[in-house]
Amino acid sequence: MLQTAFNGLVTGVIMTLPALAVTLLFGVLKFPNFAVGAMMTVAAYMVFALNGQLGWPLAAATGVVAVAFGGLCIAIDQLTFKPLRGRGGITLMVASLGLGFVLENIARFAYGNTARSFAIELARPFRFLDVRMNREQMITLALSALAMTLMWLLLTRTPVGRAMRAVADNPQLALVRGIDSERIIRWTWFITGILLAVGGVLIGMDRALEPPMGSNYVVGVFAAAILGGLGSALGAFAGAMIIGVVSELSTLVMPPNYRIGIPLAAIALILVFRPQGLFGQPYIRK
Amino acid sequence: MSAVLSVAGLHAGYGAGDILKGIDVSLDEGRVLTLIGPNGSGKSTLVKTLAGLLPARQGEVRLAGERVNELSPPKRVRRGLAYVPQEYNVFRNLTVLENLRIAHEFMGGGAGAPLPQEMAALFPELPSRYQTLAGNLSGGQRQMLAFACALTVRPKVLMLDEPSAGLSPLLTVEIFRTVKSVNAMGVSVLMVEQNAIEALRISDSCVVLAGGRVRLAAPAAEVLGMKDLQRLYLGDAQQANGPPAGRAAA
């Protein structure tokens, strides 16, 4: 049971970064970006190109791609979402679905459907309190903890982070407080890109690189973001942990194939009983 | 005295129709001008248009002589045109200190304390509540925070939309006292207010809007002295005072 809970914790941690990306983007732009899965896939393949094909160390490849993918996300926004801004969240959501299809198939076109993996040395797992942990899991925990800490510092200690929260809170007021919302939107996409790139690498380390690798996490990621409260960074973290651990523990009492039912049930229950999520604010139409 | 804010022939609105139908208003430097009028007369639409939240379809807005029609709201703010909306005028999920910091950082304050000393003297309650979420403040405290944010970088013009809305009579007096103090610091004030009599007592001039047009522009004391102020306020200005007064001047 302890082993299952630990595996669930790692799954939850993997979902934390994309859940954070979803919640951050939803907070500022008020639409659910269903392209997150495909974006993680593309970023993971970009890292694979440097690491698996050019022989770069995984850490260096991840760092370079994270920054580049942040820039690519800004370009995607300018080409895809910016022309649709002002037409409502549903339009942007549908656009994100289309974008997801396109991105996933670009990855498929470039690398085919064969599963691949990053070029990392194999290491012997070690045991702690009767729980078996491998090196990839430890890297996942450490990277996620670092990313969460940096995100917290960004959102609470920097002018850009405060401005992002301000735009998420009240976009009209943000304008008359001197905040250039387009600049903040670009920052939000850049940070989203970094989170998704690192998230894609974590998934690639945990499983394998294949075109649907990111899409497979989309339900869990959205369940985590909704459970925690869309727009709440703390909520994204808590939601991902709960969904990850509960999904894994559910395999003790039901067949693993039904594990997907846990995030779906979480979405249904939270939307019925507490639509704002655990840490979100009730939505007030302004 | 020169006009710090002048509006000429302004048309603006939502959808197909215009709400503002050729507004002319002028606010002189260092003065307080109150806009009154019945519901739907275009008062809030006017200040939103001046702030840049709604585009002007026709006409011109000048701040200290500079045409600002084409400037975005953040640029207008940095030119010195501050605006306090009627509702949702603070970031409710941010702390008091974060609200002040944002105002200071993005309205052009640069380095320095988020609440300058003279502002701390004007809003003495705020420093003790720096770590409180703005959404947890009382209505009066929220209004004070909104004022402090708008004033943290000394603007040329402060526009207030219904600053006393929803406040108790005691707090309303406090709010108007604060407006007067702000004005005494050299900030020109353009105020939309339902509480007309109290507002006019601290104003230099008054503009009455009805149906998206200026119905009367006169010194505040003169308007206060009108026996038919109630009728005037209810939008019957034209019948009560003759034809429209044309360009309003403070």
Per-residue HEC secondary structure of chain A comes to CHHHHHHHHHHHHHHHHHHHHHHHHHHHHCCCCCCHHHHHHHHHHHHHHHHHHCCCCHHHHHHHHHHHHHHHHHHHHHHHHHHHCCCCHHHHHHHHHHHHHHHHHHHHHHHCCCCECCCCCCCCCEEECCEEECHHHHHHHHHHHHHHHHHHHHHHHCHHHHHHHHHHHCHHHHHHCCCCHHHHHHHHHHHHHHHHHHHHHHHHHHCCECHHHCHHHHHHHHHHHHHHCCCCHHHHHHHHHHHHHHHHHHCCCCCHHHHHHHHHHHHHHHHHHCCCCCCCCCCCCC
Highest CATH level, class, for A2-105+133-273: mainly alpha
Give the closest-approach CA distance of A66 to chain B in angstroms: 28
Average pLDDT over residues B203-214: 93
pLDDT of residue B67: 95
pLDDT tens sequence across B179-200: 999 999 999 999 999 888 889 9
Coil, helix or strand at residue B3: strand
A212 CB neighbour count, 10 Å cutoff: 15
pLDDT of residue B246: 43
pLDDT tens sequence across A57-76: 999 999 999 999 999 999 99
Indicate the pLDDT class of residue B236, thresholds 50, 70 and 90.
very low
Q: How many CB pairs (< 8 A) connect A and B? A: 72
Coil, helix or strand at residue B242: coil
Minimal-distance CA residue of chain A relative to B74: A178
Question: Measured between CB atoms, which of B51, B101, B108 is closest to A176?
Answer: B51
pLDDT of residue A110: 94
Rounded to whole angstroms, the Cα distance separating A104 from A42 reads 7
List all residues 6 or more positions away from B126 whose beta carbon is below 8 Å from its beta carbon. Answer: B96, B100, B115, B120, B141, B144, B145, B148
Average pLDDT over residues A157-178: 93
A223 CB neighbour count, 10 Å cutoff: 27
pLDDT of residue A211: 94
Minimal-distance CA residue of chain A relative to B106: A178
Give the closest-approach CA distance of B72 to chain A in angstroms: 8
- Residue B105 is encoded by which pair of tokens? 């950082």
pLDDT of residue B240: 41
Mean pLDDT, chain B, integer: 87
Give the closest-approach CA distance of B1 to chain A in angstroms: 28
pLDDT of residue A286: 47
Rounded to whole angstroms, the Cα distance separating B36 from B233 reads 7
Question: Measured between CB atoms, which of A174, A176, A281 is closest to B83?
Answer: A176
| Residue B53 to residue A286, Cβ atoms within 8 A | no
pLDDT tens sequence across B49-81: 999 999 999 999 999 999 999 999 999 999 999
Computed over its alpha carbons, how large is the radius of gyration of chain A? Answer: 18
Q: With contact defined as beta carbons under 8 Å apart, do B142 and B122 qualify?
A: no
> Given a cut of 70, is residue A48 above it in pLDDT?
yes
| Residue A281 to residue B93, Cβ atoms within 8 A | yes
> Given a cut of 70, is residue B159 above it in pLDDT?
yes
Query: Which has the minimum average pLDDT: A24-33, A114-123, B37-46, B94-103?
Result: A114-123
Question: Measured between CB atoms, which of B92, B93, B106 is closest to A177?
Answer: B106
Mutate to test the interface with A, among B44, B48, B75, B105 (most CBs of A within 10 A): B105
Average pLDDT over residues A136-151: 87
Query: Which has the minimum average pLDDT: A270-274, B207-211, B216-220?
Result: A270-274
pLDDT of residue A47: 96
| Residue A177 to residue B103, Cβ atoms within 8 A | yes
Q: How far, in Å, are A67, A116, A202, B28, B54 from residue B73 at the CA level?
A: 31, 50, 41, 22, 9
Indicate the pLDDT class of residue B117, thresholds 50, 70 and 90.
confident
Total count of residues recorded for chain A: 286
pLDDT tens sequence across B122-143: 888 888 999 999 999 998 899 9
Q: How far apart are the first and last CA of chain B?
A: 9
Q: For chain A, which residues lie within 8 Å of any Cβ of chain B, measuring from their own Cβ? A: 159, 162-163, 165-166, 168-170, 172-180, 281, 286
Q: Which residues of A touch B93 (CB under 8 A)?
A: 165, 168-169, 281
pLDDT of residue A138: 86
| Residue A180 to residue B92, Cβ atoms within 8 A | no
Which residue carries 């207030």 as its tokens? B160
Name the pTM for this structure: 0.86
pLDDT of residue A139: 86
Mean pLDDT, chain A, integer: 89
Average pLDDT over residues A225-233: 82
Give the closest-approach CA distance of A235 to chain B in angstroms: 14
Give the closest-approach CA distance of A229 to chain B in angstroms: 14
pLDDT of residue A251: 84
> Given a cut of 70, is residue B237 above it in pLDDT?
no
pLDDT of residue A282: 65
Question: Measured between CB atoms, which of A165, A170, A178 is closest to B78?
Answer: A178
Indicate the pLDDT class of residue A56, thresholds 50, 70 and 90.
very high
pLDDT of residue A74: 97
Minimal-distance CA residue of chain B relative to A171: B91
Average pLDDT over residues B159-178: 89
| Residue B149 to residue A177, Cβ atoms within 8 A | yes
pLDDT of residue A119: 85
| Residue B77 to residue A281, Cβ atoms within 8 A | no
Average pLDDT over residues A30-49: 95
pLDDT of residue A73: 97
| Residue B74 to residue A180, Cβ atoms within 8 A | yes
Minimal-distance CA residue of chain A relative to B87: A286
Mutate to test the interface with B, among A173, A179, A285 (most CBs of B within 10 A): A173
